[in-house]
Amino acid sequence: MNNDQADSGEINVHADHERVSEFVEFATRRLHGIESRTQASQVASEVLRLNDAVRRGAHGRIDFRQHPQDFAAVLIANADSTNANATNANAANAHTADGKTRLPAGTEKDGELLERSILEIAAMLRAGQLSSEQLTRLSIARAKALQPVINAFIAIHEEKALQAARVLDRELAEGHDRGPLHGIPLAHKDCFERTGESMTVGSIVTGQTPGLRDATILQSFEAAGAVDIGPLNMNEMVAGPTGRNPHFGDCCNSWDPDRISGGSSSGSGAAVGAGIVFGSIGSDTGGSIRLPASMNGLFGMKPTYGRVSRAGCFPRAFSLDCAGPLTRSAEDCAVMLRAIAGRDTRDPSSLDVSVPDYVAALQQAHVGSRIAVLGGMGEFHPEIAQAFGAFVDLLAQSFGRVTQVESGLFETCYAMADVMSKVEAATLHGDWMRERGSQYSQGVFSRTEPGLHIPAARYLESLQVRAEITQEFIDTCFADVDVLVCPTMPIPVPTREEADVERPGQVFGVVAAITPLTRPFNYLGLPVLTMPIGVDANGMPIGAQLVGRPFGEARLLAIAHHASAAMGWNRLARMHELQARN
């Protein structure tokens, strides 16, 4: 290509961008009836980027025999072997705390109780060394004390939680044991419908509309005997990886309040990371469980698509969303996942696949696992690369040789997930954007606007080729491998100032910098567990993702459980080191 041709190409690209910008400016108002709050040129750049990437990715793949529902069949057909011996999902809370260490009453400071594992606390409750009411009071006291610092809660339901705890104490005294979560304080992202209560979704747009029915997940935890102490703060409309919220205040990192908590399940990461509750359920469209888990030094599970019911969960994109737990250990994660996994007739996308006893599987599901680094994912910050390299070395010592695989599909998967997320969000929010557009934060409004203009053909292409691309990824990357590993984020945890998505023009760059390693797995529907593997030069946690075959959650949890023990990970010690430095 000579210089004249190169100049001509640049002119054509510029002209294309100008024309699309003009169309965006016209179409936002005329076709959609919405007053834009974003520069047309920025929206045009997003539309062109995603249009071109999806068109390239779908080229040569469209076949009249394909159907979007083939995706579920691909997930089921490629299920991990650890799911083969799964028990019936109705036995979800059969696991007991028998055999766990029972501590003499009064040997621990109150604050230390909140740092113990779910099964350790369950044993103490059954031994009569502790009551759920006492534990819930401790949890609420810590929530109140830290609320001005990290702003993790939308509301703290003190009386309701204490009343529930008293009932659960009476039940246990009478021999009615609901399982390991009986009497355990939890709190969940405020995107789950509650009967008679208004779900904010971190926004002022939705108004005060009482919920008609508890989300299935909340019903499951109530049946398991968990105590819900209140809804948690989050990025507005489950849209954002930072925890910044101009309506309810930023949710801050539990390790360093000057840094972002991650999002959109920001309150989940902060509340669990601060030792307020023993676990939390978040939702994940492009990393919204894994990112706050990683930034707060936690374990966060994005389950296989369809593994956990989303009935009553406010969506960002129904084709991508997953709900799952954030906890301080793989064992706690296993306890919580066991309570919510399984088919739900209220959610037509949930899949009828048997559910293992994830806690029991911690002892053997990792045996013989073949692990590979997923390469070709771009550059990582040197501190991330160093910590990840040490983690890979540890895996090799614990599980044998770690190989490397690469896939040319990663960027395509990111773009297709981005298209699905933006189009489905724009569809859901269209009326509100028309009628109450000024009530949205700048970041969420700007991120949603491109979805109004992405061609319908690109959206449907993303859906239609999803099964084929997922099968190709599995065939390529899991041919001789059971688990893939990669960092959760390519950069250290940013400060809140660095990740200010409310500054005009900032949101697209901030999101792109934080989410490149998480979003593609939502398109593929695969289970992903993030776990802490070290800290950066600022003393902030670094996470790694374990990626499995469909329904391979048991294997991921078992590997994380044993790898964390081999590593000697101590969240509290690392947090105390950081506090001492500051």
Q: Enumerate the active-site residues.
A: 189, 264, 288
Secondary structure of 191-258 as H, E, C letters: CECCECCECCCCCCCCCCCEECCCCHHHHHHHHCCCEEEEEECCCHHHCCCCCCCCCCCCCECCCCCC
Nearest to 409 by CA among 58, 80, 69: 58
Backbone angles phi, psi at 300, to 5 degrees: -135, 125
Tokens of 378: 């771009």
Q: Tell me phi and psi for residue 121, to 5 degrees.
A: -65, -40
3-state class of 115 per DSSP?
Answer: coil
CA distances 33 to 28, 36, 46, 572, Å, are 6, 9, 20, 52
Residue 511 has which token pair?
């999101």
Q: Residue 327: which of 288, 271, 286, 285 has the closest Cα?
A: 271
Bridge partners (DSSP) of residue 484 are 372, 547
Q: How far is CA 515 from the centre of its chain?
A: 11
* Alpha helix (H) residue ranges in 478-506: none
- Are the CB atoms for 231 and 190 separated by under 8 Å? yes
Query: Going along 386-453, which residue ranges are E strands?
Result: 403-406
553-567 vs 382-399: helix crossing angle, rounded to 10: 100
Q: Kindly report the three-state secondary structure assignment for every residue of 259-302.
A: EECCCCCHHHHHHHHCCCCCEEEEEECCCCCHHHHHHCCCEEEE
- Select from 139, 499, 567 the least CA-distant residue to 130: 139
Nearest Cα to Cα of residue 462 among 54, 160, 134: 54
DSSP assignment, residue 144?
H
Q: At what angle do helices 410-436 and 40-58 cross, to 10 degrees?
A: 140
Give the C-alpha separation, 350 to 352, whole Å: 7
Q: Yes or no: say if 550 and 80 are a contact pair by the CB < 8 Å rule.
A: yes
Q: Which tokens sit at 379? A: 């550059």
Token output for 203: 């926004």
CA 68 from chain centre, in angstroms, equals 24
User: And the tokens for 37?
Assistant: 């709050």
